[in-house]
Structure 1
């Protein structure tokens, strides 16, 4: 079962990346996000909640340029049922986003389905999706449908064409094998909705952003939004400022500077799962820092490269996006 789930995830990622490095980086990015709820959040008595996708509608390339944004959370129906009041509270606080939806999924391995053959010829398990629209006036979710989301587009999506064909080395089994079947099923369903149903084949959109994880702290009755990465420490000889620490793409920092300004009722933090190196990727420790502190203390790295190289859409994703690095000492070990 695990290999089949991984194969399906790999196919979705392959169809939306343009080279092996981008493919591997996308899969590596799933690890820390999948492990954080158990290793960090629940272990400390807090409640993990799904983050959401911030999808600018085609009139603007990035969400920072418009409030015409679709905010969408994709989650298991049991989690939604158990935490519906918390998701209502979160959605109500995200008042800057004009259109807010939520999607739950049911995965059925007893039935198969085909995707559009222009996208993929692989057989997938049947994935049933239920959509909900958030009504701000009533502060509640009302069942909706895919057409309601698709109608938000102001233009027809471009004709689908895979960005670039490459001979894939399916290292995904090695990268994703450490995750449980449940975590992998969550990733599969989320990527099916985001990369396929709301991907560039069917849905015209700008450059998306996301919240990796939202955590509710019962003791303080507050919500914290996390950016989560798996990283090894930067090397002094790899950056002109001789800073040893953890970095982030400048574009992502700009995103969070906007979030902090727009949503003062949330706290924002950067959570790093430290690994020993990029080859063995052995776990060392979790580290955290307030996002405002990271932004204030980080140093621009003119030699930095984006971890998102090769991601779609290539027309708005430069080959080299500069990064900033914050010293290791500024982070708190968890």
Structure 2
């Protein structure tokens, strides 16, 4: 686990502005990894699919504006054909599936020095497929063809050094999660932050945290997963960035998939002790939003940026059981 976490750190540290954004990344990872383990323990029969990334090619474009959609997963792309047929209703430029080989141990992966300047990284065998929506099938292509969708950066933004105390704190937290889930996370970030984010131009990204198929409802559902504490000012509840609400609304209207907002509730921002899992459907969340807006956290953005957020009161969220 130690070598894996050091590699994950190397990828992230090169593609964030500084320690605040570095910590925001890890806070997001904790919510998603915790949910994966909750699913394993309580919903073993659920059919769970890896979510994908929405990444426009044009700098400044929002994620829903002619994005490249791609999934990074050890799963077979054939399992995702029906999902891609639905997602094809989005205004995507094109769609891809990046399959990686999880049958070879991390220590035996290829070592490359050309992904990040001055860093040697372990890279698994990768097979890339482009989705053909007309014939509803995946076509094998070179990885370079996928990467070349995004032009090389002329100038890279140099990130600030991450304090060792911050690195050690998040390594301790991450060590408690299953190795296979952390390994999957590393490959996701290797491609998104390493191959693309560090070296290539792109628009504003977003992602689908997970996709679940419900046999009862006979439909797929998209999940938005966050770790949050209750907002401090009335109405107390859980919020979401207004631009993210707009993007999720477009995602739902295009795919017709229900979208669920899942919150890993914690006690406060400092201690971050787990309290409970909460869930709400996107339409119910939007219907009960407070009209007033608050300034949300900067997340991966600039610390002095404006990030208007709307709050849905706590009582509208249900316990996830």
TM-score by length of 1: 0.86
Change in CA separation of 1:308 and 1:59 when aligned onto 2, cut-off 3 Å? closer
After superposition, residues 220-231 of structure 1 pair within 5 angstroms as: 220-231=217-228
Q: Does 1:46 align with 2:46?
A: yes
Contact 1:54 1:209 in 2 (8 A): yes
Match of 1:294 in 2: 285
CA distance in structure 2 between the aligned counterparts of 1:307 and 1:60, rounded to whole angstroms: 17
1:23-47 deviations in Å (ceiling 9; x for gaps): 1110111112123234147723321
CA distance in structure 1 between the aligned counterparts of 2:304 and 2:246, rounded to whole angstroms: 16
Q: How far is 1:243 from its partner?
A: 1.0
Change in CA separation of 1:318 and 1:215 when aligned onto 2, cut-off 3 Å? farther
Residue ranges of structure 2 left out of the alignment (5+ in a row): none
CA distance in structure 1 between the aligned counterparts of 2:143 and 2:297, rounded to whole angstroms: 33
CA distance in structure 1 between the aligned counterparts of 2:291 and 2:119, rounded to whole angstroms: 43
Match of 1:91 in 2: 84
Match of 1:239 in 2: none
Bigger shift: residues 185-194 or 5-14: 5-14
CA distance in structure 1 between the aligned counterparts of 2:135 and 2:34, rounded to whole angstroms: 35
Change in CA separation of 1:60 and 1:303 when aligned onto 2, cut-off 3 Å? closer
Contact 1:18 1:165 in 2 (8 A): no
Change in CA separation of 1:234 and 1:48 when aligned onto 2, cut-off 3 Å? same
Q: How far is 1:138 from its partner?
A: 1.8
Contact 2:14 2:198 in 1 (8 A): no
Q: How far is 1:323 from its partner?
A: 1.0
TM-score by length of 2: 0.89
Q: How far is 1:179 from its partner?
A: 1.2
Q: How far is 1:175 from its partner?
A: 2.9
The alignment partner of 2:295 has SS state of coil
CA distance in structure 2 between the aligned counterparts of 1:72 and 1:220, rounded to whole angstroms: 26
Match of 1:18 in 2: 17
Change in CA separation of 1:54 and 1:128 when aligned onto 2, cut-off 3 Å? same
The alignment partner of 1:195 has SS state of helix
The alignment partner of 1:132 has SS state of strand
CA distance in structure 1 between the aligned counterparts of 2:283 and 2:162, rounded to whole angstroms: 39
Alpha-carbon RMSD across the aligned residues, in angstroms, is: 2.3
Contact 2:25 2:300 in 1 (8 A): no
After superposition, residues 1-334 of structure 1 pair within 5 angstroms as: 2-40=1-39, 43-44=42-43, 45-58=45-58, 61-64=61-64, 66-67=65-66, 69-76=67-74, 79-80=75-76, 84-85=78-79, 87-95=80-88, 96=90, 97-106=92-101, 108-111=106-109, 113-116=111-114, 119-153=116-150, 155-165=151-161, 167=163, 169-170=166-167, 171-201=169-199, 203-236=200-233, 242-264=234-256, 266-299=257-290, 302-310=293-301, 319-334=305-320
Contact 2:109 2:124 in 1 (8 A): no
